[in-house]
Structures are given as C-alpha cells and as structure tokens.
Amino acid sequence: MPQSLSQILVHLVYSSKNRHPWLDDETQPRLHAYLSRVLADARNVPIIVGGHTDHVHMLFGLARTVTIAQVVESTKTSSSKWLKQEFPRLGEFGWQHGYGAFSVSPSEESAVIAYIANQKEHHGELSFQDEYRGLLEKYGIAYDERYVWD
C-alpha cells in the first residue's frame, strides 16, 4: 500500500496547575484560537478547542506523524509562554503535569463537540475534578487519586 492514511480523533484535556482559575472570559477565546493554530501547525486537524477557567478541552484529528505526547508538549509549552507574553498578569501561570487523552469514534464527534462547546454551563454544576474523574471512568481508565492532581 503506497499511501498511509489515518483518522484518529482525540479528545485531549488538561488543567492549569493546581486548577487555579487563570483563564477568564478575556483570555479563553484567544487561548482557544491560539491552541487551534498550534494543533494545525503540527498538521493535526483542530475541530474544537474550549474549556473553562481552569482547564482546556481539545478535539482534533491526530496527524499521522506525531504522537499524543508530542501534541501535549507543544500545546502546553507554547501556550504557557504565549499566555505570559500576551497577558503579563499571568506571569505565574502553568499547566498541570498530566493530561487525559481519549479516543473518539467518528459517530460520537458531534456529541463531543457539543460537550466542549458547553463547558461554561457544564461547570456551573460540576468541578473540573469531578468532570475528569467521570471521563476516566467513562473510558475505563484505572487511576490512583493520589497521582491524578498536582
């Protein structure tokens, strides 16, 4: 087969260090747009980026030539530097060490898009920690609560 093709949809989630609510209504839209550009620059296909005051969600098609770990490293590193440069008040900003990456079936893509688009309403009732635990349980990922948060 001379051609290498793939369609791998990834729902990537990570929070700010200690889940501090750095990301206000001014920073979120600009950060989400920036993260979309970082994804695209690495030949991923950004579908939607969203989140709330203390975390981000990204749904994207994973490029054939990169790993999820590389996507995490590039999005965290570049966005952290960008946030500090664009918003000097965020000089102490940082992302948590870990992340969650979940595979998404194409048949579930629209549901995940809606989920990410409605983060503000969603988090009127649910903390990031409870949301993240729910995602881990939904995808059957075993975890030790002592090592999930930093």
Q: Which one-letter amino acid corresponds to residue 116?
A: I
Q: What is the pLDDT along the chain (150 residues), one digit of tens a residue?
A: 578 888 999 999 999 999 999 999 999 999 999 999 999 999 999 999 999 999 999 999 999 999 999 999 999 999 999 999 999 999 999 999 999 999 999 999 999 999 999 998 878 888 999 999 999 999 999 999 888 887
pLDDT for the residue 1 = 58
pLDDT for the residue 91 = 95
- Decide if 77 is inside a domain: yes
- Decide if 103 is inside a domain: yes
* 8 Å CB contact between 62 and 71: yes
Sheet holding 55-61, edge to edge: 45-52, 55-61, 9-15, 100-104
Q: How far apart are the first and last CA of the chain?
A: 45
* 8 Å CB contact between 14 and 79: no
Token pair of 50 as six digits: 């969203």
- Decide if 4 is inside a domain: no
Other C-beta atoms closer than 10 Å to the C-beta of 126 total 13
- Decide if 32 is inside a domain: yes
- Decide if 46 is inside a domain: yes
pLDDT for the residue 136 = 94
pLDDT for the residue 80 = 98
- Decide if 3 is inside a domain: no
Helix (H) or strand (E) holding 74: helix 68-86
CA dist 52 and 122 (Å) reads 9
pLDDT for the residue 97 = 92
pLDDT for the residue 73 = 98
CA dist 29 and 22 (Å) reads 13
- Decide if 2 is inside a domain: no
- Decide if 78 is inside a domain: yes
Q: Global pTM? A: 0.93
Where do we find the tokens 């992302």?
A: 95
pLDDT for the residue 146 = 85
Q: Which domain holds residue 43?
A: 9-148
Q: Which one-letter amino acid corresponds to residue 4?
A: S
Q: In CATH, what number is assigned to the domain containing residue 143?
A: 3.30.70.1290
Number of domains present in the structure of the chain: 1
pLDDT for the residue 121 = 84
pLDDT for the residue 94 = 97
Q: What is the dihedral of CA 106, 135, 82, 33, to 10 degrees?
A: 40
